[in-house]
Amino acid sequence: MMFNILISDPLSEEGIQPLRNAENMNIVIDTELTPEELAVKITDFDALLVRSQTQVTRELISKASNLKIIGRAGVGVDNIDLDAATEHGIIVVNAPNGNTNSAAEHTMAMIMSLSRKIPQAFNSLKNKRWDRKKYVGVELKNKTLGIIGLGRIGAEVAYRAKGQRMNITAYDPFLTEEKADKMGIGYGTVEDVLQVADFITIHTPLLKETRHLLNEDAFKLMKDGVQIVNCARGGIIDEEALYHAITSKKVAGAALDVFEEEPFMDNKLLELPEVIATPHLGASTIEAQEMVAIDVCHDVISLLTGETVKNPVNLPSVPGEILNKIEPYFNLAEKLGDFLIHLTDEVIEEVNIYYSGDLYDVEVAPLTRNTVKGLLKRHLGNHVNDVNALFLAEKRGITIQENKTPKARGFTNLIKVEVKTKSESRSVSGTLLNGLGPRIVKVDHYSVDFTPKGHVVVIHHKDQPGVIGKMGSLLSQHNINIATMQVDRSDVGGDAIMMLTVDKHMEKDELEALKSVEEIYDVMVVDL
């Protein structure tokens, strides 16, 4: 099968070599598409690779009927409508590590250019002026750098600024006193940082909570003469408020790599001599571009060839050692859901999943997603996948609960899935048998043992002599071969279950023939 990959922003040619070397990948590079052209073209593609320029909107995603993955060669995914991607079952991956160093170095270059007015002095010299008085700067040594957002880039900036003998005070919702002590920096609230800093640099993502984090009120809290750096995202600073803070002399200077609107030809902040700027160049180094492109290409190849991706954004990522433990159960979990949904025709309200034995102390969220995927597939088709399974269940008002118990009732591992509807509760349990793969070992309260694969026939009947014989001859009349057979009952002469696996899909008339047997209550066929 050939996969079509569209690259709609400029990516490093060296970085996309893994894609070029992979089999069955048809790569189209077109970085000049208008949004309208892209919306038409996107239907042909299985994967879309972007940087920050392509706007992957809900509307675009709604046209992307074949799209399976969006790869962001970089960190920020604010140009991608993640909710829409999740709803459409499209996985979004990014490359969170490849450009950290470049962005941190660019931030330091901006701080130093700002403190010594290098761009302004250079411009003046280019205009044939030798002006030494106008471009007197300030030292960084012993000044306080306030860092808002101490993630990958913020932390790298902190280490580098310490090398400039600056004092650092940072705020990040995940920064603890111990971590700050270990790094040799101070920590406080956002307000603390704003009040003490001589330079403020931002390294958060653009989120609802960080939009206009630096606004009119924030500028009021700052020291007079503070200098501001933003190499994270436009929109975290309210540009209008910054403009007034600079013209009122509250802020002595600003270095901006990112803007509320990008790209732009006109931004009034650039008319101010106190402002220096670059056109979103934080990640623009040969090294970073190669690394981020390599990382997303590997994830695109992994997804399209059925492997696990490393940097999912709209799915929690699972560390390698945990994944190794639970991956063998993925198939069992999905089959349990797929089988169970056939046991009821009523609307499911609640799903309880019980993990026990070896699964007691591992992260089981990916297994839950697979189980729910299996449950929903019958009615929603292949549109359901790991990415949107929980979202689609939640949208239908289905409650999902995970439970864990250490003991697995005679098995080394056991997954029991129970669904509740308005009037009934049905369940199925399965285990992974060492060397033998997945087995279903219980259907409601009946003990069984079969591999969840192929054509399974579940027959509820009265426990009475001759039923099995009638069944066998009816199937042989229709030329249906029985591969395996199991019987269990609640009590002698009471309700019983017969589980068959047969060698072909059973047609409607064949099913009707089985149902016509007097002692049979119902027959159900599941093709797993």
Ligand X SMILES: O=C(O)[C@H](O)COP(=O)(O)O
Ligand Y SMILES: NC(=O)c1ccc[n+]([C@@H]2O[C@H](COP(=O)([O-])OP(=O)(O)OC[C@H]3O[C@@H](n4cnc5c(N)ncnc54)[C@H](O)[C@@H]3O)[C@@H](O)[C@H]2O)c1
Contacts with 112 (C-beta within 8 Å, 6 or more apart), sequence order: 118, 140, 164
Q: What is the DSSP string of 342-353?
A: TT--SPP-EEEE
For the beta sheet containing 144-148, the strands, ordered from the edge strand earlier in sequence to the opposite edge, are: 186-187, 167-171, 144-148, 199-202, 226-230, 251-256, 275-277
Asked if 187 touches ligand Y (CB under 6 A), the answer is no
CB-nearer residue toward ligand X: 51 or 373:
51
Q: CA torsion, points 410, 411, 412, 413, in degrees to nearest 10? A: -130
Return the exposure string of 348-385: e unless at least 16 CB atoms fall within 10 Å of the residue's CB, then b.
beebbbbbbbbbeebebebbbbbbbbbbbbeebeeebb
CB-nearer residue toward ligand Y: 179 or 470:
179
CB-nearer residue toward ligand Y: 103 or 497:
103
Out of 11, 69, 75, 214, name the contact with ligand Y by CB under 6 A.
75
Asked if 72 touches ligand Y (CB under 6 A), the answer is no
Out of 172, 239, 295, 334, name the contact with ligand Y by CB under 6 A.
172
The Cα-based distances of 4 to 40, 222, 266, 290, 300 in angstroms read 15, 51, 37, 21, 11
Asked if 366 touches ligand Y (CB under 6 A), the answer is no
Q: How far is the CB of 74 from ligand X (least distance, A)?
A: 3
When CB distances to ligand Y are compared, the closest residue is 151
Asked if 86 touches ligand Y (CB under 6 A), the answer is no
At residue 23, what are phi and psi to the nearest 5 degrees?
-80, 150
Residues that bind ligand X (CB under 6 A): 51-52, 74-76, 99, 280, 282-284
For the beta sheet containing 520-527, the strands, ordered from the edge strand earlier in sequence to the opposite edge, are: 482-489, 495-502, 455-462, 520-527
CB contact at 8 A, 49 and 296: yes
User: Given the DSSP bridges, would you call strands 425-433 and 413-420 parallel, antiparallel or unpaired?
Assistant: antiparallel
Q: How far is the CB of 405 from ligand X (least distance, A)?
A: 43
Residue 51 binds what, of ligand Y, ligand X, none (CB under 5 to 8 Å, by partner type)? Answer: ligand X
CB contact at 8 A, 119 and 171: no
User: What tokens appear for 460 in the block?
Assistant: 């509820």
Q: How far is the CB of 51 from ligand X (least distance, A)?
A: 3
Out of 79, 100, 144, 311, name the contact with ligand Y by CB under 6 A.
100
Site for ligand Y in 207-236 (CB under 6 A): 209-210, 231-233
Asked if 73 touches ligand Y (CB under 6 A), the answer is no
Out of 116, 152, 470, 489, name the contact with ligand Y by CB under 6 A.
152
CB-count exposure of residue 40 (10 Å: 0-12, 13-18, 19+): exposed
Out of 51, 72, 203, 377, name the contact with ligand Y by CB under 6 A.
203
Asked if 10 touches ligand Y (CB under 6 A), the answer is no
Angle between helices 330-341 and 365-380 (to 10 degrees): 40
SS3 79: coil
CB-nearer residue toward ligand X: 80 or 389:
80
Out of 151, 188, 454, 472, name the contact with ligand Y by CB under 6 A.
151
Asked if 257 touches ligand Y (CB under 6 A), the answer is yes
Q: How far is the CB of 430 from ligand X (least distance, A)?
A: 42
SS3 414: strand
Q: How far is the CB of 202 from ligand X (least distance, A)?
A: 13
Out of 92, 93, 180, 258, name the contact with ligand Y by CB under 6 A.
258
DSSP assignment letter at 56: B
Q: How far is the CB of 147 from ligand X (least distance, A)?
A: 17
User: Would you name the residues annotated as active-site residues?
Assistant: 233, 262, 280
**Judged by CB under 6 A, which stretch of 95-103, 384-392, 457-465, 505-513 contacts ligand Y?**
95-103
**Judged by CB under 6 A, which stretch of 17-25, 172-180, 304-312, 507-515 contacts ligand Y?**
172-180
Asked if 170 touches ligand Y (CB under 6 A), the answer is no
For the beta sheet containing 91-94, the strands, ordered from the edge strand earlier in sequence to the opposite edge, are: 25-29, 3-7, 47-50, 69-72, 91-94
When CB distances to ligand X are compared, the closest residue is 74
Asked if 263 touches ligand Y (CB under 6 A), the answer is no
Site for ligand Y in 274-303 (CB under 6 A): 280, 282-283
User: What tokens appear for 205 in the block?
Assistant: 């993502």
Asked if 110 touches ligand Y (CB under 6 A), the answer is no
Q: Quick one: CA dihedral 291, 292, 297, 303, positive or negative?
A: positive
Residues near ligand Y, by CB under 6 A: 75-76, 96, 99-100, 103, 148-154, 171-174, 203-206, 209-210, 231-233, 257-258, 280, 282-283
